[in-house]
Amino acid sequence: MSAAAHAEPKTALTRAVQALVLVALFGLLYAATRLVPELESHAGTIGAVGFLLLTGTLASELVDIIGLPHLTGYLLAGIVAGPHVLHLIDHHTVSQLTTVNALALALIAMEGGAELKIDGLRKGLRSLGWATLLQSLAVPMVMTGVVIACKPLIPFLRPLSTSALVGVGLLWGTLAISRSPSATLGILAQTRATGPVASSTLTFVMTSDIVVVVLMAAALMITRPMIDPGSSFSLRDLQTLGHELLGSVALGTTLGLVLAAYMRLVGKQLILVFLALGFGLSEMLGYLRFDALLTFMVAGFVVQNLSKQGPRFIKSIGETGSVVYVVFFATAGADLDVPLLRALWPVALLLCGSRALVTWIMARLASRIAGDPPVVRRWAWAGLVSQAGLALGISGVVERAFPSFGSGFRALAIATVAINEMVGPVLFKMALDRSGETSTAPRPSISSLEAAHEMVEAAHARADEAHKKESA
């Protein structure tokens, strides 16, 4: 992964200073917003980004002491600063920050697509096929049964008929197979893990989004007559799906070719190009009703596999990766509805536990059938627990399609995604650590980087002198 490397080992004094600075930052902003209430509404999005970036980074350093992933620190910083705990960042600012996340999602998707190489996909095709098949069949079926069994515990399910209850269960089962590419890439960026577990997880998670989109369209088409007897079976959902998939792939391919040509012919100011894509193109994709994640993922895949610019492309994205992941997940933490999670946590925990269990069983079974290495059989499931934006997007689609119970469905989805968002990265990092794939190479110090730079400059000077002598 083109990610930020591990930091040098920190002393106890350094950790203590980091903790004091973190507490001081929260304390100062808390006091300022209470003494001058107008400050909260005038701080603005830029100020919130700076605060979350700083506190998220410090929190990630502190949770690293106990082996938790940096993503957990980012989330915790956002939760504490958000509108439901200390209220240092209000709801309006959080909603503005979610628009900034368009850039993060674009970079995450392009990096994920660029990490998928044709040779790797070809070698792992058997494993990917079995994992996709079993996860896509077993998880929805099991989760449908769990939802039906939980009817007395879920208020919006109680008035539903049997057929409608089964329909809601199928919708929930489809939501349950969604994963989190952003969490996967974030953990791989931190750990710089290489090996079969990291490779198989990345491949499965990035390609599973396409499967989820297809299955969601099919689920809506099948369940609409079951939930609403007045509705008829319609192929319009498949038509919409075809427009979304084909349009996203076509535009992503074109974008990838354009990016590869730009990098080859110009190759400058790539960060400005990424900014334009993240904000401008994301808006256009929403207007055209194309899937932004799929479009940018295809673009990254094309740059990697249809040009020679792949390594440079990944490196360019990685240079902004640390900032992107901090802001993205800190904003996700601030946007977390803590009161809702507090109210729904028993049912949400039951649904999350059931999903994790069937995911583990199917991952073990798929690995055994495909003949994967023992380390993949044991740990590949751990990277499939995280959920994030795609699951919330699916819940929004269900809410709009079925207003009678959609708000309750979305509320429960938010609660379960919150738990999976907190637990999933921890499990994945633990799996990478236990499988021995986490990189232990320390990050180069400032002095070593300066020394390396001086050596390069000296080498260039010697080469110039030699060239001058030859010319003379």
Same domain assignment for residues 211 and 90: no
* End residue of a domain, out of 67, 99, 131: 99
Same domain assignment for residues 375 and 428: yes
pLDDT in tens, 376-398: 999 999 999 998 777 888 888 88
Is residue 454 pLDDT above 70, yes or no? no
Burial zone of 195 (CB within 10 Å; 0-12 exposed, 13-18 middle, 19+ buried): middle
Asked whether residue 287 is domain-assigned, the answer is yes
Buried b (16+ CB within 10 A) or exposed e, 388-422: bbbbbbbbebbbebbeebbebbbbbbbbbbbbbbb
Apex 181 CA angle, 65 and 78, nearest 5:
50
**pLDDT value of position 1:** 41
Apex 162 CA angle, 156 and 166, nearest 5:
75
Average pLDDT value for residue range 54-69: 90
Asked whether residue 468 is domain-assigned, the answer is no
Same domain assignment for residues 92 and 165: no
Same domain assignment for residues 196 and 303: yes
Average pLDDT value for residue range 197-210: 89
Q: Identify the weakest region by mean pLDDT among 207-211, 322-326, 445-449.
A: 445-449
**pLDDT value of position 44:** 62
Asked whether residue 47 is domain-assigned, the answer is yes
**pLDDT value of position 349:** 94
Q: Give the side-chain half-sphere CA count within 13 A for 214.
A: 9
Same domain assignment for residues 267 and 415: yes
Residue 208 to residue 328: CA distance in whole angstroms: 21
Q: Provide the pLDDT confidence category of residue 328 given band limits of 50, 70 and 90.
A: confident
Cβ atoms within 10 Å of 341's Cβ, excluding its own = 21
Asked whether residue 339 is domain-assigned, the answer is yes
Q: What is the full DSSP assignment across 104-152?
A: HHHHHHHHHHHT--HHHHHHTHHHHHHHHHHHHHHHHHHHHHHHHHTGG
The one-letter code for the residue type at 426 is: V
CATH number at residue 163: 1.20.1530.20
Q: Identify the weakest region by mean pLDDT among 286-290, 438-442, 458-462.
A: 458-462
pLDDT in tens, 41-55: 555 667 788 888 899
Q: Which tops the pLDDT comparison, 443 or 13?
A: 13
Closest by CA to 163, choosing from 99, 101, 229, is 229
Q: What is the CA radius of gyration of the chain?
A: 24
Asked whether residue 6 is domain-assigned, the answer is no
Same domain assignment for residues 244 and 214: yes
Entry pTM: 0.80
Q: Which tops the pLDDT comparison, 300 or 466?
A: 300
Asked whether residue 449 is domain-assigned, the answer is no
**Which phi and psi angles does 441 have, rounded to 5°?**
-70, 130
Supply the range of the domain harboring residue 38.
Answer: 12-99
Residue 261 to residue 62: CA distance in whole angstroms: 43
Same domain assignment for residues 285 and 146: yes
Q: Which tops the pLDDT comparison, 235 or 251?
A: 251
**pLDDT value of position 375:** 93
Same domain assignment for residues 155 and 242: yes
Structural domain total, the chain: 2
- Which of 258-272, 375-389, 440-454 is modeled with the greatest confidence? 375-389
Residue 260 to residue 254: CA distance in whole angstroms: 10
Same domain assignment for residues 55 and 117: no
Q: Which tops the pLDDT comparison, 163 or 48?
A: 163
Contact status, residue 155 vs residue 187, Cβ threshold 8 Å: no
Same domain assignment for residues 376 and 229: yes
**Given phi > 0 = left and psi -120 to 50 = alpha, else beta, which region is 68?**
beta
Q: What percent of the chain has pLDDT over 70?
A: 86
Is residue 34 pLDDT above 80, yes or no? no
Find the Cα–Cα–Cα–Cα dihedral 98, 172, 290, 3, rounded to 10°: 50
